[in-house]
Amino acid sequence: MSESNPSAGGDGTVLLRGGDIHSPADPFATAMVVERGQVAWVGSEGAADAFAPGVDEVWDLQGALVTPAFTDAHVHTTATGLALTGLDLSDAGTLGEALDRVRAYAAGRPGDRVLLGHGWDAARWLERRAPSRAELDEAAGGRALYLSRIDVHSAQVTTALLDLVPGVTGRTGYDGSGPLTDDAHHAVRAAALGALTPEQRTDAQRAALRHAASLGIGSVHECAGPEISGEDDLTGLLRLAAEEPGPRVFGYWAEQLHTAQDADRIRGLGALGAAGDLFVDGALGSHTACLHRPYADAPHTGTAHLDADAVASHVVLCTEAGLQAGFHAIGDAAVDTVVTGVRAAADKLGLARVRAARHRVEHAEMLTPESVAAFAELGLTASVQPAFDRLWGGPDGMYVDRLGAERAKTLNPYAALLRSGVPLALGSDSPVTPLDPWGTVRAAAFHRTPEHRVSVRAAFTAHTRGGWRAVGRDDAGVLVPGAPADLAVWRADELVVQAPDDRVARWSTDPRSGTPGLPDLAPGAELPVCLRTVVAGRTVFVGPGG
């Protein structure tokens, strides 16, 4: 891609031409004009000639694809940056390899007060067990180490870190040798993250946002909260995003409201809602998701953090304050708790008022036909992570280990949600799964359970426009005149209109239908490469060839 009169863009007028513009305004568009941070025109190459003399810049796309920038609807930005720059065990194949990496990491960072690592998953290791505390004590050389499991709902830590948290042995979720969960985990995580300097935290946030921009992500929904990160972490991130070019950041603070003053305080943080990871339960991998029936590999039903009355009270207060409410709910019992609570709030305030607030449910993995219908009725947005199925689904995956084959195959029913009219917003839950927008679209379209698959176009829309709709913006995430000029330029192979099989309800694949094409995302096909990312008309990333 080449350009004349190159600049960062933003306030000037830019003509993009000679490519494929993915726009419902013109399915055959090859050119677009961006002015004052908005899309001003989309059309044909011939018509672009009339604009060329009056613009400040011309970008010759050289056949590249232009799409709306992606929105990742569930991110933990600081943790993502720490995983990018720190100890990442997500691809460790064995327990022994993980311990070797801990030794090397500890040796290479002699000045760190607390060592931080992430991403271990014993379900994928040959040993099928977590590291013991004694093993980590040895590998870390007796230093304080916090090592979160891939789902971030449990962590193994060293004795030296426990010594920094008085009373931790009496907290719920404490284990004398194994990973910590619940309150014990939250306490040691707070201690570990509290050891970061403001400079370390900002560096991690900056690294995460730059990485997101390099992947064509134009905005992220930061899911912060008192059990995840401090208020300073959220306000610092929002300040960084406002001051430096990069993806937009929409912040959520996951704290339960008890009074109207609580809502004022959360709004004062800059958050759109008391939402995100407001935990109704935990996670399947850590055996803390709340189920109606016991786990297949554990004699209990997980952990419940909120009941339906608490959900109802929170939704009422948020709705009255003009804030979004939202909850983390994974297990079927947790999802039903949310549905029961939101319905009670609707009975009190009126269904139309609750629907208009666009409250959210994060993850929503274990859904029944009844809960899907309730999401549609109550106007709940399902903020989902298709990479969970790619990572843990299938006959040999963690879902089957935890739930058995019959329950596992019901998880993440994206097709049923779309058929029922439930708004979908796609994300990664990074660093639980990596920032990977095209991979996320592929995971939804080629779900391991065929009946849950959706078309590539539907998944792409949920990962672009869906994220904007989830924050209350219906005018964005699509390249039409008047929309924000948040876009990405891609090197991609032939464009197609694709659905994984005939069971998927889809738009016509006949080229004469005028449906805009997208890259071939079939398993094994090469994913598009980001050449440039633009936010509000301003270039925030340029890659080789961009």
Tens-digit pLDDT profile for residues 270-291:
999 999 999 999 999 999 999 9
Per-residue pLDDT, 514? 60
Q: Residue 318's CB: how many other CB atoms inside 10 A?
A: 25
Question: Which residues fall within 8 angstroms of residue 79, CB to CB, at 6 or more apart?
Answer: 118, 152, 204, 229, 430, 431
Specify whether the CB–CB gap between 276 and 253 falls below 8 A. yes
Per-residue pLDDT, 69? 98
Per-residue pLDDT, 230? 87
Tens-digit pLDDT profile for residues 327-355:
999 999 999 999 999 999 999 999 999 99
Specify whether the CB–CB gap between 122 and 95 falls below 8 A. yes
In the chain, the largest separation of any two C-alpha atoms, in whole Å, equals 73
Amino acid at 3: E
| Phi, psi torsion values for 266, nearest 5 degrees | -70, -40
Closest of 212, 247, 221 to residue 358, by C-alpha: 221
Alpha carbon separation from 2 to 36, 333, 389, 458 (Å, rounded): 21, 54, 39, 31
| Phi, psi torsion values for 514, nearest 5 degrees | 75, 20
Task: Determine the Cα–Cα distance for residues 197 and 175; give it in Å rounded to an integer.
Answer: 29
Task: Determine the Cα–Cα distance for residues 91 and 397; give it in Å rounded to an integer.
Answer: 16
* Cα 72 → chain centroid: 5
Specify whether the CB–CB gap between 108 and 234 falls below 8 A. no
Alpha carbon separation from 322 to 102, 220, 272, 315, 318 (Å, rounded): 46, 21, 9, 10, 6
Task: Determine the Cα–Cα distance for residues 468 and 473; give it in Å rounded to an integer.
Answer: 5
Task: Determine the Cα–Cα distance for residues 389 and 364; give it in Å rounded to an integer.
Answer: 12
Question: Which residues fall within 8 angstroms of residue 504, CB to CB, at 6 or more apart?
Answer: 415, 445, 453, 454, 455
Per-residue pLDDT, 327? 98
Rg (CA), the chain: 23
pLDDT below 70 — which residues of the chain? Answer: 1-10, 498-514
Secondary structure class of 165 (helix, strand, coil): coil
- Which domains, ranges and CATH numbers included, belong to the chain? 13-68+478-492+528-542 (2.30.40.10), 75-195 (3.10.310.70), 277-471 (3.20.20.140)
Alpha carbon separation from 153 to 82, 181, 434 (Å, rounded): 17, 6, 17
Per-residue pLDDT, 2? 52
Specify whether the CB–CB gap between 442 and 527 falls below 8 A. yes
